[in-house]
Structures are given as structure tokens and as C-alpha cells.
Structure 1
């Protein structure tokens, strides 16, 4: 047996599997070893004989001796103390249901139902011992000594109602599965237990945690809690519940800041660690999947640290705990708790049953005696100590006159029965299955009946799967596989003037549908304002979320939408681009029509350019008047007065044509501006070119043999040349404007919030030919003027033309890159500036020296002076 001892030393719970495979002699040796390790649960039990006995497992005691299991040595379990009131109420609900069924003439007629109830003390090994003891008929039980008297209720049970913890129930179902013994739990909620392939013998009268976790997730999403802390008991109940919760909130913007686990074996140190984590966290909402005794330890630690600003989300395991609700030391910490609770119900006659309980009428009920002694402070004599010796209780003896009829106590409060009602339903489900099994059936004219003394668990299991129960309240109850239809209450812990907390119903959950009365909730803040629990405040409209590197998705920065993009929702991940004709407003929350923009006469730039153009035209007119007034003087006559007047006229047209570029573009203005510009400048350059040719011709004709040259450059030929050069530009413009003229067009590219209305060049070729022709004439004129700059003359006009053409060419060479790179309406401004700059250059360079002599140096305006060289 050395190998088995070694195995049991390390795998306490798993060793139970071997008990079903050993002989009686081996079994006794093994149980001696097991009991020495696990300890003895105690001999307290509640038993009522009957034709059919059903078993029950309840955690009637919880508080163990103060032994901190640090797992550095073999765990040793010592006897439990501390009677739990709520499980005690569960136990008597089972007893009440059995007695009620026995009084029912239509359910199990002629069959008396009995029960055999044991205390599992919230310990896995003892729950397994108790289950095996019930199924094996006390063959598998720990005995203190050979002199220990046999306990009542040695008959094997075909069905067990229990246990509380999901982990314990998983163990029970797996161990009893090969025997097909049905297990009906009233509080085990692990979703894994719904798997019929793994747990075919399991049933429960409480919904799966899937629905509870989903309901809590829906609450978090609905109340916009995105930053949550979680505390869970380190077993199947806590681990699987948080797993379902995480799956439900995935992709919904809810994150867990921390997940802390607690163990019942190390709850003292775990509670301190958890309290420190909560205190340091930024999450204001804390989700707890634990048993209420664990929660109490955590709350006490939080109360020591004065942490009272957290909103707790409660699972059904502690959301209705009277032990917590009545504890003044944690009322500030626990105020405002919002939780999911087992749906409440009533059991007719149950309160009367509880109030009539009395140890005098139930001398074998050790649990009731213990409760009596604690409630009334009396003693029924000798009680067992933790060491098994007998000690005299110092309390006065109970008189027998004590009664519960007028006592206000949690035990007798049946206003909201939750887990208690689940036990009640479980008993009725078992009774209806037994009724179906024991009912006689006719098959092939042969009546077959099962005997209550010969019930096979596998047959009972088959009937239990098909059970449909109508309770005394008229409620229809049935199993869907292992589960029942999911229904929950939503409860809120609210403060009372006395300082205690009260439980208030604020909503319900039916399946996946959540119904919440928000206005009825009192939050942890003490107000009706929903607490805020976020890692980052939700991004307002006009911004988008940008996740922080290495942090959860709930932690983010808010980035303003780019120009031309909007977001009119709160907490959006993306901004949306506006349609092409629209732009974002200043807050980036709406798309508004773009403002129409063009070079207008009302803006500063338009006014400046208009002033410059009008001034140029005015100066040109003044020069024209001066020349007209002094037309007979040598200065005017010597410089080809006819071409000078024509040049002044063309310059004036150049100044005025720039005005066509200003203002709202239209179909005709777009055509007119380029034609006026091209023709005016060609007329101007043609006049200069002809004047330069005439200067060259005059000096060339003075050479011998060149007298006839001037015949080809007479006044008519000069006028004809100017007209010819100009007509070529007119033809170019006519062809361009007839084939592919500039048209008004919206430019969406640069101005962002504005739409630039401009004259778009449909054909760049036409515009290039117009500019090219002007450039050709200008270059020719510059070249000829440069050749004539040193001709002997006291006032050589070729020099002036050379300077003017240098300025003209420089302006228009600079114009090309400026024109190409300028955005929006500034393209027009660049062209106007080039027109004005080149026009002013021509006007000043050619006519300013002449006007200076005519007006200020009249003594030089003589033929003698002009012919001096």
C-alpha cells in the first residue's frame, strides 16, 4: 500500500476515484489513511426515514480553525466551526419540501419520501466523502474509532441534491457519473457543467454562469464602464465566469485593469493583497466573482484603508448575502453594490414551518440545536470540542420555552427566497422523476411496476431528463439538458437611516434580455449619478481615438480630425472625409459647403492690383496728353510720333486688360482676359519692334548706296508692319478660343475650406503659343535694340528700348515658374502682376526720359541739340 499512500498524500481528491475499485479490506485501510489526512467532517447529519431516501449536501459550517495553508507542507484540515444561516435555511427547505410531498396524495402516492443530509463544510474532500457515504450507504465514511456507534441512514441514496461550489459539483458528477447517480445542484453555475457528454448525470435549478456573466457584461456596456477591475475565487466558478465576461465584452470597448484571485485557504493574506490592488487602481468599478465570506474579508480590508469610492458589481454568489448587508463595519464600502441575483420567489407555508421548528420536537437534529444555542444563548449540555473531547458549555441550559414565532431573524425571513427556492425546486424535480419511475406502465398488455426498494439510479436519471414540474405556486419547471431557463433579478444595495444596507430590486434578466430601472439605483457615490470608470475619457466629436502603444484599447489619446475630415460621434475610431464640395467646420463635427473664392475687387489684393492698373492707365494717358501737346517739338517728332502714340495706346490697353482678370470669372471674362492680354502686348511689342527697325534703317540709309532703304520703312510700311504682327496674334487667339477656350472651373485642391473659382486652361498649347509669340517678338526687339544701342545720336531711343525689353523679358521669364507654382487665385494675381510690371517697365524706360526733357529741360528739346552728334 506504500504507492497508494504516496498518491493520496499528494492527490487528496483524486484518490477518491480508487475507493470504488477496492475490496472491503483494502477499503478500510485506505479510508484510515484518507481520514487521517482530510480530517473527520463530523457525525452531524439530518435524517428522515422513508421508502425512498434522497441525499443532500450543504455547506452548513464554514469557518475552519485558523490554519493558513501555505502549501509548504501537507495540508491538514481541522474541524469546522461557525454555523451558516443561509445554508441552514436551504437544508430545511429540502426537509419542508419532502414533508410537503409526503402530504400530497397525487405525487408519489403510497410512497414515503425520506432524506439524508450531510454537511460538506465548503471543503472538497469532505463533500466527496459525504457523497460516497450517501451513495455507498455509510460503507464509505470516516470513523473516529471502532467504538463509534453506527449512524442512522445507512441506506444508499439514488440521487443527491448538492453541492454549492461548481468545483465540488464537477468532482461529484465525475465520480458518480460511472454509477449514473443523478446530482442536482442548487447553486453550481459553471458553464462547463452544461456539457452532457462530460456530465450526463448532472442537473441544476440555477442558470449557468453564461447568462450571469453576460448580464454583468451588458450592465458594464450599457453604463459605459470601460475600465474595470476583477476579483475572482480561484476555482471553476471564478475562472469560467470571468472567461465568459471577457468574451462578451470583447470588441465592445471594455477592458480589465487587473484580475486578482483569492483562495479560501489563504483568504487572510489574499484579502490584504486585493485591497491594496483596489486602492492603487484607477478603475472605479470592481467586478467580484467570489463567495460572500471571501467578499467580506476583502471589504473589511478596504474599510480599514477607508476605500469607499468604488462601485462593486456582484455575482449571484454574494449579491443577496444578509451577512454582508447587516454588517455595519462594511456598509460604507458596500453601499451602492449592483448585482445579479438568483430570482426571488416564495414558498407557501415555509415561514410557518420555520417558525415552528423546535429542538424539543426534533431531538436528533444537531444542526437545529446548534442554531438554537447561538440564537438564544443557551446550551443543551455537553458539546463536542474541536479535539473530540467533552467539555461543559458555560452557557445556561435551554429551558424548552424558546420559540421562533416572534423572532425577527434572517433564518425566518422568507420574503425573498433565492437559493432556498432552488433547493425546493430540486426536491420537486426528484419527486416527479421518482413518480414517473414508480408509476406502473402497460406494455404488450403486461403491467410493469418499479419497487421503491429497488430503484436503479440510471433509470431515475432517464426520467429526470424528461421531468416537467408544476410547483404548488403553479410555476412550470423543466430541464433543458442540465439547465433551466435563465431568469435573474438585478439588485442594488441601498443605505438606510439605521446605517445598514437594504436590498432593492431594480431590474430583471430573462435569458439574454436585460431590463433595468436606472432611476431606482443608488450608486456608491450616494447619488443618482452613474459613476464613471474609464481609462481615458471618451473622445468628443471632432476627434478620433488613437491607441497608446503597449496599453489596452481602453487607454487612448484623442486626436483632432484632419482638415476636411469630420467625426460627429463620441468615441469614434475614425474620422470621415467630407465630399469634394464640402469642408469640415472649425470643430470638425460637420461638413459645410466650401466658401467660393476668387480674386475680387473688394479684397486687399484686388484693390491693390486695381489701383496699380488704373494708376498705370492714368499715367499713360498723362504721357499721351503731354506728347500730344508737344507733338511739334523735335523730341516728339524725332522719335516717330505716330508709333509713340500707338505705343502709348497699347500700353494703356495693357494696363486696362489686367482689370479683366479681377472679379468673378465667367465664360466671357475667361475668354476676353487672355485675348485682351495677348493682343495688347503684341501691339505694344510690335510698335517697339518697328521703332527699333526704323532706327536701324535710318542709320543704315546714311551709308553710301543705301538711300533706297528708307523707302521700305515709310509711315505706311510701319503701320502695316504693326498691323501684320498684331493680326497674327489675333488669329492665334481666335483659333485658341474657338477650339478650346478657358472656362470657369472650381479648384478644390489647395484652399481647403474654400473653392477657388478660376479660369482653367482647357488647352495649355493655346496659352503657350500666345506667350511664345509675345516672347518671340520681344526677343527679336531686344536683339535689334541691342545692336542699335551705340548708334551715334544724342538721344538714341534704341538704348531706352533695350532697357525696357530687358525688364520686359526678365519679368516674363520669372512669370513662368511663379505662375506654375502659385495656388488658387494667386495664379491670377501673378499674371496681373507680370502684366503691370512689364507695362510699367515699358512706360517708364521709354517715356520717362522724354517727358523729363520735354517738361523739365526744354532747352534740350531742340533740333540742334538732338543733331549735335
Structure 2
């Protein structure tokens, strides 16, 4: 063989092909042998073609079960579970290639051939098809391609994301372009791992975010998730969880659909759905993986759930046309890629014949329930004539109402064709490659076509959509569909909105809520929450060991509010504010003080005024009878000082009323302390007067009580003055006594001062009572000692009762109790000391005589013998000093 005309590279490739051929023919003799022969089915047309485009479609759903017996040589598995929908995808690629080859504006001088394989929805078959496509033979020698056929351009496929990930890793080694129509997994965005991967379907990054926004749009915070056990389901649901959990949504359960038949796992998933309180279930799966679960849901009659569908099954007729599916999946909301009408496709689909290839033959036998296999005909099956009417079919294959993935296949084929057209249309010396060279359409390298694909921008025929690739991806645009019932009982996909990833954030998700019909034909949006939302006035209390969406609504404490829904905590109101009844607003506290104008204040003023007037009236009566024996006998100065002190105490009680001011706080407290000091010191002087007259001279008996009164009063006055100078009482807002009120009251300033001041009054009271109690049995004038004793008893009873009453009240009633104690004690002293005198002066004036003021003799004999001398002495003493030492008894 003459190899001199070939380049060094051509010689090397020829040698490799010869080696490959020789090692097969000498497998039994040499050390190299064929390990296995691939069993692939599909379409192939490369003869007399300029460029070949590869295709890979999951026409079957799974591999057939193989015998694990190792006593015989294993064979490459065949496929089963024919899928009409994916078979339509494969036919769409053939339709697009025929359409391109018949056009004059795209590749006018180039005929496109094709090699299409069935990936059987499994990675192993996808890898087999990729290796066979690259090497050109089903007895593949990796990294070698033997033959001189037309160049390979790109692979359209391979179906699901996990299939494309496997093929993209192989194709990326050779920088061989791959154009996917259905692989939306976000992991394929990595140009480092998948440098030659492009797609006409949006990345699941957009779909996952769109699903999350849909959940947030309807306020669902408690959802379940189900994902296929592949890269599509794993990465899609992972991104969805990240977005919703960041927004506060909780996942009730997260289940995985098995890739191989596993009834126990499916039953467990259904039971999880039944046990969960989540009414919203998000499913990231293909229709193939979801079908076993749908069957089990139907058997268990799982209703009252809303399903959120990913684009891989939202328009799947294999799911939506399932008998009795409406009660289970009715109301489903899902995201679907763009749809389009492709003129001529329906006619192409109806024109297929069973004679072209094994795939179409199998399809024909399934839809018409016949066979072309001679052995099966002999066994009793009806023979296919090939004249069966395709027009009468009504199945997924011929249904072109929802061309979405089909439209992506159409766009993918046209993308490769436009890239090839740009490569072919390159002008010499203006090319993008080294030295401005162009690639030769008859022998270009894959990486050269990759340049044109990455920089491609074209318009899709019939639809006018402009396609370009941003780092290998297209923009994220989804139609939002709602499964609603048809009049015939089937399901129709109603368009209710869309999601556009390129729109402003607030306009990306557009939904017409009014056009949605939920499960069981309900118009009201379903609720799916672990716990109902906490209204304003409550806060969320997390349940221990449960997701954050499961909580109890705990009412805010008094003085705290929450003014938002689902508040994490309550807000403390400011010091002058308090929570309202609903605990959702802080309202100003009620300001409380004992006002002059309210009934209680008016009553106390009237009583105080009456007391002061009564005291003044008594003083007037005494003045009118100043020179009578009854008035003169008990030191009128002490009587008038006592009456002055009572007037002060009566009137100071009025100062306690009204809004506390600086002057009123100082006046009320000081007047009360000094007034009682004057009253008590006067009473103590009267009691001392009785005791001194029984034991001392008349001069001492008159002067000493007055000195006691003046000194004791001055001591209190000096103490109050020091108090007012150093730490005077002042008005304050008491916000601690009552939560809902601000009590305006007087702060004493310093507890030591006020305790000292009133302790002094208590000391005077104790001394007065002691003196009066001792003097009550002395031979006195008009029983003054007994009157003071009774008055002090009333005084003590009132103030002892005042302490618990004062401590048990709050607010303005504390002031009322204090005023009542002042008035009661003052009235008690006034009545006990002066009513007997006024009675004699006004009612019994005949008893107000000097002779009746003479003390009763201790014995009648002593009185008889010394009566004249005593009377003379008494009379002269009275005339000399202006007072009398005679006494009179009420019993006389």
C-alpha cells in the first residue's frame, strides 16, 4: 500500500485503523480481543452527506433485566418501555434535518446526515452511543476513529441531565460540541467541567428560583419535596430548598424517587405524603421516574394535595392522561418551557412507516397491536400490513398541542445548522482562526465548530424567537400552567402566568390568581402551614425539636406589643405608654390624681371645709365666753393654739387634692407635720397643766404648758425648714404602682427626713396620750384629762387603721385615704375636747359659774371645816392671775 501521498497525521490514522482491523481478526491468536459488542438501535444516514449531526433520545424507558448467570457470555442489554413522547423528539430531529436540507438559505451546498441512537434513559446506553458516535463503529476502540466518512459536527442530546452529564464528560475531552434539548440541571453550567456543553432549555437555577417564588407568592410555609434519584432531581430540589428556607419556609419531608423498580420505597413515600400535614408538594422529576408514584397515589386515593411540577413532567401525557388522575393531580401548577407550533411536523409524524428501522417497527406494532416478526405471527399475533391508518391515532406521539421539549429539539438542530452555515460562509483571510484562516466544511475540527456555536445568534423559523447562548445557556423563561378539568373529563393545561428571569425582580413572576382552579375544583387558595400565622399582639414560640415553621402563638405580656404578623418577639412599651387590650399598639397611660372636680374630691373638700368652719365656730364661741370660768379654767391660749392647729390640718388636706405641683407637695406635707405638731403639743400642754397644778404653784402651772407647746412646735418647724432646704418634696410620675396608669404624686424627697418629721409627731402623740392618761384621774377642772385621753384614743385608732388601708390602695385612693385619716383624726380631737365645753357654754350656761368650778372635796368633813378659807384663797388667786384654779365636774 502506497502511503506517500498522505500527511504524517493521515498515515498515523491509517495505521491505527489497520491495527484496529487486525486485532479483531486475530483476536483468537493475539493478546487483544473484543470485550463486548454494543447493542444500539436508532437511525443512521451518512452516505453522500457532507456533515453528520449526532442525536441521542431516550426512546425507551429502561434496560431489560439481564440474566446474572455467569455461565454464559454476557450480552449488551436491550431496552424496553417504549416512550411515544421521546420517539416524537427523535422524529422531530429528522424533520428538522429534512427541512434544513431542503432550504436554500441555510447550508445551500451542504447535505446534513445523521446518526441517532436510543439512550434508553440510562447512563450506560448513553455512554455506548457516545463512544460509537465518536469512533464510527459499535466495536469501539476509545480515542480512535477509523474511516473516511463525513466529519462529525455535534451531538444533539442526550436526554435527561444525568445522561448529558455522562456524555458531556466524554465529549469535553475532545472539545466536541454537545447541544442539549432537555438537560436543565444547574451543574451543567460549569464550563470548567463541561467546556463544550450548550443547551436550548433554561438552566434549573431559574426553575428552582421560580418554584420558590411561587411558594412564597401564595404564602405557603410548609411544603414537602420529592425528587428523582438523579442529578436533575438532586440539584434542582437542593436549590429550591436553599431559596425557600432562606425566606422562612420549612420542609415537611424530602423524599427521593428510585431509578429502578422499588415498590417498597414508593409505598413508603405515599405513606409519608399521607402522614404529613403539608398540602403543597414540589416534585422535581421526569415523567418516567414519577409514573410509579402516580400509580400508587391513585391506589391510595391521595387527594386534597396541590402538586408543583417541574418542566420535565408538567405536560407529560403519560401522567396527565392516566385514568382517574383528576382527583389526585387536578389543580397541579407547573413550569413549562416555551411552546411553539411547528408547521409540517404533524404531517411528518403521520408519514412514518414501519419499514425504515427497528424503532419505527416497534412503535407500529405497539400502536396497532400487530407484529412484523414472522415467529410472532406464527404464534398467533396479527401481522402488520404497513397500511394501517396513522391518522386515526390519538396518542402522545401525534399530539402536537404542547410542543415544548419538541420545540427545544427543533431549536437545537437549527442551532447546529446555523453554526455550520457560519463556518461554511467564512470569507478567506477573514476567518477567526490562526492567521485569519477559515475552517473547511468538509474536514473541520470539532473545536472550530465550537467557536461558531458559542458566538451564535439566530432566529428560529416559524416562531421568530431569537436564540443566543450566554456561557452556553439561554435565558430562563417559563409558562406557568394549571391542570384543569375538561368538559369531557380529561385534563387541560391552562396558562395562568409566566416567569422571566431577565425581567426586574418584582416583575419576574406574574400569576393570575383568579384563573387558577385548585384540587377538587376549589377556587380558594389552599393553605399549607405547620402553624397558623401569629396575629399582631402575639409572638412566635418555637416548639422544641420541630422546624421553625412549627410554633405556638404566645400572647404578649402586659406592657408589650407586637404590631406585625409572625413577630419573633414582643416590643416593650415606653415608660409612659401601655399596651392596649389587643397588645398590638402602645397607648398613653391614664394619668391619675385626685382632682378637685371629681365627686370624691368635692366630697373631701366639703368635709375639710366643714371641719375648718366648725373649728372656727368653736373658737368664736370660746372668744364670746372668754371671761367665763369654763373658758378661763383650762388656759385659753392652749385652747386657741389647739384650734389653730386643727384649722391647719383641716385646710392642709385640701392641698393634697389636684395635680401635684412643687408648691403643693411642699405645703401639704409641711403644713400637715407642723399642724399636727401644734395640735399635739397643745394637748400635751393641757395634760401637763393638769399634772402641774396638782403638784406645783399656779405660776408654774400656767407658764410651763405654754413653753412646752411653743418649744415642741418650733422643733417641728425647724425640722421641716431643714427638710425643705435640703431635699424638699416634689411631684413625680409613679409608673410602677399601676401598669396602665401614671400616678401623679409627691415624692417626699428623702425617706429619712419624712420619717423623722412624722416620727416626731408620733412621739408627741405618745407623750400627750401618756400625760392625759395619767391626768384623767386627777381632780381636774371639767374633766379635761378624760377628754384629751378619749381624743388621743380616737387619734390612734384612726392612724393605726390608716396604715393597712393606705398600703392596700393604689393611685388617687391612697391620697383619699390619707385625707380621710387627717380629717377623721382632726374631727375626733375637735369633738372629744371641745364638744363638752360648747355644750355647757351654749346649752347649759347655768353651769358656767365660778362656784361650780370648785373641785369636789376629798372628804365632806375636810370640805366643811375649810370651805371658807379655800374659797377666799381661790377667789383671790383668780383675781390676781386672771385665771382660776377651781374645777367643776360634769357630775355636779
Structure exhibiting the larger radius of gyration computed from Cα positions: 2
Distance of 1:656 and 1:569 partners within structure 2: 53
Distance of 1:76 and 1:839 partners within structure 2: 121
Residue 767 of structure 2 corresponds to residue 756 of structure 1? no
Distance of 2:310 and 2:372 partners within structure 1: 39
Q: Given the alignment, which residue of 335, 351, 359 partners 2:353?
A: 359
Residue 261 of structure 2 corresponds to residue 288 of structure 1? no
Residue 649 of structure 2 corresponds to residue 657 of structure 1? no
Counterpart of 1:266 in 2: which secondary structure? Answer: coil
Residue 264 of structure 2 corresponds to residue 269 of structure 1? yes
Match for residue 254 of structure 1? Answer: 249
TM-score normalised over the length of structure 1: 0.82
- Residues 267 and 294 of structure 1 are in contact (CA less than 8 Å); yes or no, is this contact kept in structure 2? no
Q: Given the alignment, which residue of 369, 377, 380 partners 2:361?
A: 369
Match for residue 676 of structure 1? Answer: 671
Counterparts in 2 of 1:776 and 1:51: CA distance versus 1, 3 Å: same
Match for residue 107 of structure 1? Answer: 106
Deviation digits for residues 660-716 of structure 1, max 9, x if unmatched?
3234445654454334323422321231232234234323415xxxx6534634xxx
- Residues 199-278 of structure 1: pairs in structure 2 closer than 5 A: 199-278=194-273
Deviation digits for residues 623-665 of structure 1, max 9, x if unmatched?
7799889989977654445533542453354244323323444
Distance of 2:701 and 2:679 partners within structure 1: 23
Distance of 1:302 and 1:810 partners within structure 2: 86
Q: Given the alignment, which residue of 447, 454, 474 partners 1:465?
A: 454
Counterpart of 1:519 in 2: which secondary structure? Answer: helix
Q: Given the alignment, which residue of 148, 154, 163 partners 1:159?
A: 154
Match for residue 420 of structure 2? Answer: 434
Distance of 1:453 and 1:557 partners within structure 2: 72
Distance of 2:323 and 2:430 partners within structure 1: 69
Counterpart of 2:251 in 1: which secondary structure? Answer: strand
- Residues 137 and 157 of structure 1 are in contact (CA less than 8 Å); yes or no, is this contact kept in structure 2? no
Residue 302 of structure 2 corresponds to residue 312 of structure 1? no
- Residues 488 and 509 of structure 1 are in contact (CA less than 8 Å); yes or no, is this contact kept in structure 2? yes
Match for residue 91 of structure 1? Answer: 90
CA positional deviation for 1:531 = 0.4
Deviates more, 1:631-640 or 1:191-200: 631-640
Distance of 2:33 and 2:260 partners within structure 1: 24
- Residues 184 and 202 of structure 2 are in contact (CA less than 8 Å); yes or no, is this contact kept in structure 1? yes
- Residues 496-515 of structure 1: pairs in structure 2 closer than 5 A: 496-511=486-501, 513-515=508-510
- Residues 761 and 767 of structure 1 are in contact (CA less than 8 Å); yes or no, is this contact kept in structure 2? yes
Distance of 2:402 and 2:601 partners within structure 1: 84
Distance of 1:576 and 1:281 partners within structure 2: 34
Distance of 1:167 and 1:867 partners within structure 2: 132
Counterparts in 2 of 1:769 and 1:153: CA distance versus 1, 3 Å: farther
Match for residue 490 of structure 1? Answer: 480
Match for residue 129 of structure 2? Answer: 130
Deviation digits for residues 11-49 of structure 1, max 9, x if unmatched?
xxxxxxxxx9x98899989996566xxxx6443435454
Distance of 1:80 and 1:487 partners within structure 2: 34
Aligned length: 815
Deviates more, 1:180-189 or 1:641-650: 641-650
- Residues 316-395 of structure 1: pairs in structure 2 closer than 5 A: 316-355=311-350, 357-359=351-353, 363-382=355-374, 392=378, 394-395=380-381
Distance of 1:824 and 1:867 partners within structure 2: 58
Distance of 1:432 and 1:465 partners within structure 2: 12
CA positional deviation for 1:207 = 1.2
TM-score normalised over the length of structure 2: 0.81
Counterparts in 2 of 1:732 and 1:823: CA distance versus 1, 3 Å: same
Counterparts in 2 of 1:34 and 1:764: CA distance versus 1, 3 Å: farther
CA positional deviation for 1:494 = 0.3
Distance of 2:473 and 2:284 partners within structure 1: 20
Match for residue 537 of structure 2? Answer: 542
Give the gaps of 5 or more residues in structure 1: 1-19, 70-74, 143-151, 384-389
Measured on the aligned residues, the alpha-carbon RMSD in Å equals 4.2
CA positional deviation for 1:759 = 3.4
- Residues 388-427 of structure 1: pairs in structure 2 closer than 5 A: 392=378, 394-405=380-391, 407-427=393-413
Deviates more, 1:819-828 or 1:550-559: 819-828
Deviation digits for residues 542-588 of structure 1, max 9, x if unmatched?
11111111110000000111222222222221222334333221011
- Residues 440 and 447 of structure 1 are in contact (CA less than 8 Å); yes or no, is this contact kept in structure 2? no
Q: Given the alignment, which residue of 712, 728, 740 partners 2:703?
A: 712
Counterpart of 2:260 in 1: which secondary structure? Answer: helix
Distance of 2:857 and 2:92 partners within structure 1: 139
Match for residue 11 of structure 2? Answer: none
- Residues 860 and 866 of structure 1 are in contact (CA less than 8 Å); yes or no, is this contact kept in structure 2? no
CA positional deviation for 1:285 = 0.7
Counterparts in 2 of 1:368 and 1:774: CA distance versus 1, 3 Å: same
- Residues 135 and 156 of structure 1 are in contact (CA less than 8 Å); yes or no, is this contact kept in structure 2? no
Deviation digits for residues 45-91 of structure 1, max 9, x if unmatched?
3545421111111110115557999xxxxx99853333211111111
Counterparts in 2 of 1:444 and 1:619: CA distance versus 1, 3 Å: closer
CA positional deviation for 1:378 = 4.0
CA positional deviation for 1:426 = 1.2
Match for residue 476 of structure 1? Answer: 466
- Residues 635-650 of structure 1: pairs in structure 2 closer than 5 A: 638-650=633-645
Deviation digits for residues 409-459 of structure 1, max 9, x if unmatched?
432333331111111111122122223333444339988443344232222
Match for residue 4 of structure 1? Answer: none
Counterparts in 2 of 1:708 and 1:602: CA distance versus 1, 3 Å: closer
Counterparts in 2 of 1:256 and 1:444: CA distance versus 1, 3 Å: closer
- Residues 764-843 of structure 1: pairs in structure 2 closer than 5 A: 767=754, 770-771=757-758, 774-775=761-762, 777-778=764-765, 781=768, 797=784, 801=788, 824-829=811-816, 831-836=818-823, 838-839=825-826, 842-843=829-830
- Residues 62 and 121 of structure 2 are in contact (CA less than 8 Å); yes or no, is this contact kept in structure 1? no
Counterpart of 1:589 in 2: which secondary structure? Answer: coil
Counterparts in 2 of 1:860 and 1:154: CA distance versus 1, 3 Å: farther
Distance of 2:541 and 2:799 partners within structure 1: 50
Deviation digits for residues 361-391 of structure 1, max 9, x if unmatched?
xx323333333333334444448xxxxxx66
Counterparts in 2 of 1:82 and 1:300: CA distance versus 1, 3 Å: same
- Residues 848-859 of structure 1: pairs in structure 2 closer than 5 A: none
Match for residue 456 of structure 1? Answer: 445
Distance of 1:23 and 1:637 partners within structure 2: 153
Counterpart of 1:332 in 2: which secondary structure? Answer: helix
Counterpart of 1:454 in 2: which secondary structure? Answer: coil
Counterpart of 2:475 in 1: which secondary structure? Answer: coil
Deviates more, 1:129-138 or 1:597-606: 597-606
